[in-house]
Amino acid sequence: MAHPLSDPATARQALATMWEIRRFEEAVDDLFARGLMHGTMHLSIGQEASPTGVCLALRDDDAITSTHRGHGHCIAKGADLTRMMAELLAKETGYCRGRGGSMHIADVDTGNLGANGIVAGGIPIATGAALAYRLRGDDKVVACFFGDGAVNEGAFHEAVNLGAIWKLPVVYICENNKYGMSFSTEKSMAVENVAEKAAGYGMPGVTVDGNDVAAVYEAMETAVARARSGEGPTLLENVTYRWKGHSKSDKNLYRTRDEISEWQGRDPIVAFETRVVEAGLLGRDDIAAVRDEVVQKLRAAVREANSAPDADPSDLLDSVYASA
Amino acid sequence: MAHPLSDPATARQALATMWEIRRFEEAVDDLFARGLMHGTMHLSIGQEASPTGVCLALRDDDAITSTHRGHGHCIAKGADLTRMMAELLAKETGYCRGRGGSMHIADVDTGNLGANGIVAGGIPIATGAALAYRLRGDDKVVACFFGDGAVNEGAFHEAVNLGAIWKLPVVYICENNKYGMSFSTEKSMAVENVAEKAAGYGMPGVTVDGNDVAAVYEAMETAVARARSGEGPTLLENVTYRWKGHSKSDKNLYRTRDEISEWQGRDPIVAFETRVVEAGLLGRDDIAAVRDEVVQKLRAAVREANSAPDADPSDLLDSVYASA
Amino acid sequence: MSDQDREISYAEAVREAIGQAMEADDRVFMLGEDIGVYGGAFGVSGDLFERFGPERVRDTPISELGIVGAAVGAALAGMRPIVEIQFSDFTNQAMDQIVNQAAKIHFMLGGAAEVPMVLRAPLGSGTGAAAQHSQSLEAWFAHVPGLKVVMPATAEDAKGLLLAAIDDPNPVIVLEHKLLYRTSGPVPEEAFRTPLGQTAVRREGADLTIVATGVMVSRALEAAETLARDGVDVSVLDPRTLTPLDIEPILADVSRTGRVLLVQEAPGHVGFTSEIAARIAESPALYRLLAPIRRLSGLDIPIPYAPQLESAAVPQVPDIVEAGLTLIKES
Amino acid sequence: MSDQDREISYAEAVREAIGQAMEADDRVFMLGEDIGVYGGAFGVSGDLFERFGPERVRDTPISELGIVGAAVGAALAGMRPIVEIQFSDFTNQAMDQIVNQAAKIHFMLGGAAEVPMVLRAPLGSGTGAAAQHSQSLEAWFAHVPGLKVVMPATAEDAKGLLLAAIDDPNPVIVLEHKLLYRTSGPVPEEAFRTPLGQTAVRREGADLTIVATGVMVSRALEAAETLARDGVDVSVLDPRTLTPLDIEPILADVSRTGRVLLVQEAPGHVGFTSEIAARIAESPALYRLLAPIRRLSGLDIPIPYAPQLESAAVPQVPDIVEAGLTLIKES
Ligand SMILES: Cc1ncc(C[n+]2csc(CCOP(=O)(O)OP(=O)(O)O)c2C)c(N)n1
Ligand SMILES: Cc1ncc(C[n+]2csc(CCOP(=O)(O)OP(=O)(O)O)c2C)c(N)n1
Ligand SMILES: [Mg+2]
Ligand SMILES: [Mg+2]
């Protein structure tokens, strides 16, 4: 809950989070390529500043809802990398006991109410969680992540409207990475920015550079304050880009090499490192130390996760219903 | 396809249509009250200017989609009152052979693709019909009617966006009668006018006095021209009011007597009669003649419909699938 | 009048259950379209709005997907929402949240979360509301692992099963037949629970087992009276919950009578009674059958508007009587 | 290589059918998410975008309800749309348009309109995509009067049934199993039609009838080979269309073998094979049964992510073999 450029510790934390996301995704990419991971994976390399900046503006007891591209959200909200990796490796020690996998990863204890395999599926859920907090008299806020593609779903529309009319403590965060799989935002909507849709719901809409963790934080801080004080939701649009294909089956036919490398030039981590050094918050050696620590942490996570027991099929039938 | 105040014949036609709607609804109300009609009925008394003005701006071969409150749309597009009444009386000669009733009344021949019992259900359908015309190289336009309540459905959002990005020949017409059953627009949305939602889809949004048939016509004419020329849809909001309860089970607890009588003071038919007289288009005697003719027409429709054979159950099982 | 004799309507029983649950537990709240001052499309919420106020009896815009999703989220965050969907046909709007979210979250998250919510919706035909307002989709919900599905047939069950549903830590779909709302029966005043997963034996007979749900239970009981006059002694069993399904009493009764008639309002093709038939046919009860299993279902058509067409579309008392007699003759 | 010997994949067969239909009839067009330059989530549309252009192979935003509704409207207005839904799980988003609109319009309008549309969607598990991307909801569609429901099990059927579906003046749901897309088989090059409503006898045997759909057909055939080595001679029947359902060949085969095993991937409770069991149990074939009917279905659970859990959740070849042997022993 501090600006990423306010002090060395926070700067360090923001940087470490972004590196954790980057390295986690790279590890997943690698494990998948080597046939050691199952299913499909949606990586958020290039988008690290958005979850990091957003979650920095949240309290620990605030909640998030996440998406199919949810590893970054989960990490930024404070999940344990080993249990995340264990989930993706289909282990009994994974967050979901191997039942959910990447698209359903959740860590309810750190306030992550769940990734979602359904585009826009989490938006009504976030809205309902915010309603619950209001009804219970909690002053918690929900940060609801979704992509630009999700904005075209009816679920977005219905839920955002409920949030607006009831002035719920929720922030709607569109991670606009320009494509909903292969379909560009130029084609999927007849306006320039997703944030322009906010006016129709009577709420503020803000577009920020989603690769600038400080800008994301600042916009989010304002939105959170608004939400927490009962003034209602904000639609925050973090403009960013995914470097990798949509999922493992993507041949990248719908975008150009040039576009991809242009965005790789706007690496959110490199940009932040430059800024913290320029601001005199961290030295180059601090940065090297952060990188190193993250690499070690990831190695340990993969190692521990790998040696955990496989998900156990024996109680499948008993896992469907909760018991009173 | 002429302004309702452009010449006596058109003025007469507009007036006759409004009276036909009014008298049709009154007849239905009466038949229902006397236990001669089944199901439930949603009457559009007080809203006659909207369908009338809209359909005046359409060509005969243009299409409409309609709603649960659809008698007015059906009449304004040119349907036969006897076959409509026969449908509501569950007769074999009704438009739907007694299978559909009020909420599914349709007259495909005059371009009414159907009422809809599902709030917002017709909006994607209208959009698809417009797509069909585009693909077939027809220059037809679709007028898509829905209520203010429908705007809160995901179907509205998804369909209107499709219409916008594909610049389809469709006009989205919200008949904002201030309530979606009992829930007021003040509560259901955090903006003043439905038309404010248009900007988020990149299309024009226009709010007009929906009780002024000329104003409706003018706005619709512009929207139709735009649609037909390939520039895409418009969101047209006709602000109006229903005098009767939502349906037959409504106790009107959510609105005041005062509000109702205030709106009854803004009777769209009386207002139009005054204007045509002032404009010298019709005399008081012409108006009396129109009223008389409509009364006769309605009486004949009810009589004929009543004497038609009841809907025939014998081929129910063969009515489900079309055969090649 | 003693407590046991008190008769209230099915709609009142539902309302009483909700009121008692809301009094006892702050986490319970309602949301739905026109449940506030309007009192609900079928008058079920009635005065709950006055009693509990607009926060806990929450009127919503026409946004079924949004409000069911809000219930899912609220449940995840520790509340116990009860959503009312005006007509069960409109659950079609909310299927993603019901089926892809509510039903699966507990499982997908490896048990780390629960979704204790109730979705109530009126189903069925008989009011002239035509095809989009008269469906019976209970088979769908029953087919989805993770949901529990309740179809109360009496005022007493409307209350007792609903209170059990509200207690349940899982998403429970409660399908109330709209023709039953105005029927009355004895209902205890206290907040009693009727456990989910217990088939009720509504009548015991020697010759024929009828299994029926929802509004078909009373029709079956009426038919049983007629059949009794024809010398046919009929059992009527009401599973009450489709999931969990308590099949044993049904198999036992069928084994005893040797004849079974399965009655539902929904179209027959791939319906709930298909499952009952299958359960019998894969059990030893099969060997006790004196005649083939017989299903009596709604026609495989959308519900028509015209009254005479509408009543022809679903089983009526005389149809049940006739089917029962045919079964006796066949064996 | 003669025409009859040509082998192509199931995905290619679907694509070929669509291409031929689009060549023959201007009214046919496709719409769906990422079916354009991406070629479809499962690569089915492939080069159709290049061949027919962006108007007729229409990429859409992520708006399932909107695009299915657009297909309904386009069909009403005289076109013959084919919608692709990326995963059949997302039909949940579009249920209103499928069930309340497409299925009912012809009936509700008293025959005054038709909705000739095809909705294609991949179903089933086996790809590690977990609970929201792996469902088998065919039972739902089959339960809705007004829809036809097709589940092609071979490359040949994928083409022939799809061409018949496109011709059909009614809404047809075509559920393609995603594990089948890469399987190959002989497929005639010409635009042949395989009529809807004809059960295919995939194998004929004397001892046991297996009825299976979708990916379970090939598993059943594989199991039949194993069972043959154990001296059990198996028939394998594939209904191919759930609605209309051609039950006669199934009843005939069961009457002949006296034993029946019904296999589906979907959870068993209130599933499609429940209906088959019911049809058998209400027919005279009942009296020819040497053992109770046996169903082998997916577990009543959401599909889990972990590979070993996922495969435990649905019938595999050894499960079919075992169930077959048990049936023989029981009788
Ligand atoms: C309801 C639904 N429709 C389609 C899909 C398939 N799908 C998964 S991710 C995706 C693209 C989502 O785009 P966006 O919301 O922009 O998120 P991004 O992948 O860009 O992070 C699609 C179409 C889905 N999972 N759910
Ligand atoms: C999807 C759906 N939800 C709810 C209903 C029940 N219902 C019928 S009409 C109506 C109100 C509609 O309001 P609006 O769109 O403003 O139209 P109006 O009745 O005012 O003409 C409601 C809630 C329905 N028919 N369909
Ligand atoms: Mg995106
Ligand atoms: Mg309204």
Structure-token match 């809203």, residue found = B47
The stretch C129-136 carries a mean pLDDT of 98
Torsion of CA B269, B275, B276, B279, to 10 degrees: 180
Q: Is residue C193 part of a domain?
A: no
Closest chain C residue by Cα to residue A130: C74
Structure-token match 């085969």, residue found = D253
Question: Is D56 an 8 Å CB contact of chain B?
Answer: yes
**Peptide bond before residue A204 is cis, with ω within 30 degrees of 0:** no
pLDDT of chain A, 324 residues: tens digit per residue: 799 999 999 999 999 999 999 999 999 999 999 999 989 999 999 999 999 999 999 999 999 999 999 999 999 999 999 999 999 999 999 999 999 999 999 999 999 999 999 999 999 999 999 999 999 999 999 999 999 999 999 999 999 999 999 999 999 999 999 999 999 999 999 999 999 999 999 999 999 999 999 999 999 999 999 999 999 999 999 999 999 999 887 888 999 999 999 999 999 999 999 999 999 999 999 999 999 999 999 999 999 999 999 999 999 999 999 998
What does the block give as tokens for C25? Answer: 């537990």
* Extended strands (E) in chain D: 7-9, 28-32, 57-59, 80-84, 118-123, 148-150, 172-177, 184-186, 200-203, 208-212, 234-238, 241-243, 260-267, 294-298
* Consecutive H or E run containing D138: helix D138-142
Stretch among A245-254, B279-288, C23-32 having the lowest mean pLDDT: A245-254
Torsion of CA A8, A9, A13, A14, to 10 degrees: -40
Per DSSP bridges, beta strands C80-84 and C28-32 are parallel
Partner-chain contact D143 C142, CB within 8 Å: no
Q: Residues A7, A9, A12, A14: is their CA dihedral positive or negative?
A: negative
CB within 8 Å of B11: residues ≥ 6 apart: B4, B5, B276, B279, B281, B282
Identify whether D64 is a catalytic site residue: yes
Q: Domain with C132 in it: what CATH number?
A: 3.40.50.970
Are C223 and C167 found together in one domain? no
Q: For all residues of chain B together, what is the average pLDDT?
A: 97
Cα-based angle D72, D73, D74 (whole degrees, multiple of 5):
95
Q: Is residue D103 part of a domain?
A: yes
8 Å CB contact between D223 and D321: yes
User: Longest Cα pair distance anywhere in chain B, in angstroms?
Assistant: 57
pLDDT score of C1: 46
What does the block give as tokens for A82? Answer: 């080993």
- Cα–Cα dist D210/B265, whole Å: 73
Q: Is residue D235 part of a domain?
A: yes
Strand, helix or coil for residue D85: coil
Q: Is the pTM of this model over 0.80?
A: yes
- Cα–Cα dist D290/D294, whole Å: 12
What does the block give as tokens for D299? Answer: 């577990």
DSSP characters for A155-193?
A: HHHHHHHHHHHTT-SEEEEEEE-SEETTEEHHHH-SSS-
The stretch D292-321 carries a mean pLDDT of 98
Neighbours of B277 (CB within 10 A): 15
* Type of residue found at B315: D
pLDDT score of D331: 85
- Cα–Cα dist A95/A79, whole Å: 9
Considering just the CA atoms, what is the radius of gyration of chain C in Å? 20
Q: Is residue D49 part of a domain?
A: yes
- Asked if residue B71 has its Cβ within 6 Å of ligand 2, the reply is no
ipTM above 0.95, yes or no: yes
Q: Is residue D195 part of a domain?
A: no
Per DSSP bridges, beta strands C208-212 and C200-203 are unpaired
Q: Whose CA is closest to atom 20 on ligand 1?
A: A180
Q: Is residue C195 part of a domain?
A: no
Are C73 and C133 found together in one domain? yes
- Cα–Cα dist C259/C253, whole Å: 9
For an interface test with C, the pick among A140, A321, A323 (most C C-beta atoms closer than 10 Å) comes out as A321
Per DSSP bridges, beta strands A183-184 and C7-9 are unpaired
pLDDT score of B300: 98
Are D168 and D221 found together in one domain? no
Nearest by CB to residue B310, choosing from C33, C133, C308, is C308
Nearest by CB to residue D55, choosing from B63, B100, B135, is B135
Structure-token match 């709005």, residue found = C49
The stretch D126-144 carries a mean pLDDT of 98
Question: pLDDT above 70 covers what percent of chain D?
Answer: 99
pLDDT score of C3: 57
* Confidence check: pLDDT of B160 > 50: yes
Are D177 and D268 found together in one domain? no
What does the block give as tokens for A308? Answer: 């955990």
**pLDDT (tens digit per residue) in C83-97:** 999 999 999 999 999
The ligand 2 atom at the shortest distance from the C-alpha of residue C132 is 25
Q: How close A114 gets to chain C, by Cα (Å)? A: 8
pLDDT score of D3: 57
The ligand 1 atom at the shortest distance from the C-alpha of residue A47 is 21
* Consecutive H or E run containing C236: strand C234-238
- Cα–Cα dist B92/A259, whole Å: 63
Are C305 and C233 found together in one domain? yes
* Type of residue found at B126: A
8 Å CB contact between A244 and A45: yes
Which phi-psi region, left, alpha or beta, contains residue A246 (left: φ > 0; alpha: ψ -120 to 50)? Answer: alpha
Among C186, C216, C250, the domain-final residue is C186
- Cα–Cα dist B180/B149, whole Å: 4
Confidence of residue B7 (pLDDT cuts 50, 70, 90): very high
**pLDDT (tens digit per residue) in B38-50:** 899 999 999 999 9
Q: How many domains does chain D have?
A: 2
- Cα–Cα dist A233/A227, whole Å: 6
Q: Which residues constitute the domain of residue D279? A: 200-330
Neighbours of A314 (CB within 10 A): 7
pLDDT score of A122: 98
Closest CA to B74 of B52, B99, B91: B52
- Asked if residue A241 has its Cβ within 6 Å of ligand 1, the reply is no
Torsion of CA A209, A213, A215, A218, to 10 degrees: 140
Strand, helix or coil for residue A296: helix
Partner-chain contact C95 D95, CB within 8 Å: yes
Residue A248, exposed/middle/buried by CB under 10 A (0-12, 13-18, 19+)?
Answer: middle
Cα-based angle C45, C50, C54 (whole degrees, multiple of 5):
85
User: Longest Cα pair distance anywhere in chain C, in angstroms?
Assistant: 59
What does the block give as tokens for D133? Answer: 């991307």
8 Å CB contact between D95 and D143: no
Are D36 and D176 found together in one domain? yes
pLDDT score of D1: 46
CB within 8 Å of A117: residues ≥ 6 apart: A68, A103, A104, C100, D129, D130, D131, D132, D133
Q: Is residue D194 part of a domain?
A: no
Closest chain B residue by Cα to residue C126: B39
For an interface test with A, the pick among D34, D55, D62, D182 (most A C-beta atoms closer than 10 Å) comes out as D62
Are D119 and D67 found together in one domain? yes
Question: How far is the CA of B54 from the CAs of A65, B163, B190, B287, in angstroms?
Answer: 44, 19, 27, 22
| DSSP assignment letter at B291 | H
- Cα–Cα dist C3/A284, whole Å: 80
8 Å CB contact between A132 and A100: no
8 Å CB contact between D12 and D41: no
Are C267 and C169 found together in one domain? no
Catalytic residues of C: 64, 133
Q: Is residue C192 part of a domain?
A: no
Residue A296, exposed/middle/buried by CB under 10 A (0-12, 13-18, 19+)?
Answer: exposed
* Consecutive H or E run containing C121: strand C118-123
Closest CA to A112 of A72, A153, A154, A169: A72
Q: Mapped to the 3 state alphabet, what secondary structure does B189-214 carry?
A: CCCCCHHHHHHHHCCCEEEEECCCHH
8 Å CB contact between B185 and B179: yes
The stretch C282-286 carries a mean pLDDT of 96
Question: Is A39 an 8 Å CB contact of chain D?
Answer: yes
**pLDDT (tens digit per residue) in D36-71:** 999 999 999 999 999 999 999 999 999 999 999 999
Neighbours of C191 (CB within 10 A): 16
Q: Domain with D257 in it: what CATH number?
A: 3.40.50.920
Closest CA to D175 of D213, D143, D202, D217: D213
- Asked if residue A245 has its Cβ within 6 Å of ligand 1, the reply is no
Are D252 and D173 found together in one domain? no
- Cα–Cα dist D246/D156, whole Å: 19
Q: How close D275 gets to chain C, by Cα (Å)? A: 5
What does the block give as tokens for C264? Answer: 């539902």
- Cα–Cα dist B260/B251, whole Å: 13
- Cα–Cα dist D158/D42, whole Å: 15
- Cα–Cα dist B291/C97, whole Å: 52
- Cα–Cα dist B104/B114, whole Å: 6
What does the block give as tokens for A221? Answer: 């801080």
pLDDT score of C2: 54
| DSSP assignment letter at C282 | T
pLDDT score of C5: 79
Are C224 and C82 found together in one domain? no
Question: pLDDT above 70 covers what percent of chain B?
Answer: 100
pLDDT score of C140: 98
Are C133 and C79 found together in one domain? yes
Among C186, C218, C245, the domain-final residue is C186
* Confidence check: pLDDT of D313 > 50: yes
Are C152 and C262 found together in one domain? no
| DSSP assignment letter at D115 | -
* Type of residue found at B229: S
| DSSP assignment letter at B27 | H
Q: For all residues of chain D together, what is the average pLDDT?
A: 97
Domains and CATH numbers, chain A: 8-308 (3.40.50.970)
Residues of B in Cβ contact (< 8 Å) with C66: 152, 154
How many CA atoms lie less than 13 Å away from B177 in the CB half-sphere? 28
* Extended strands (E) in chain B: 63-65, 142-147, 170-176, 179-180, 183-184, 205-209, 234-239
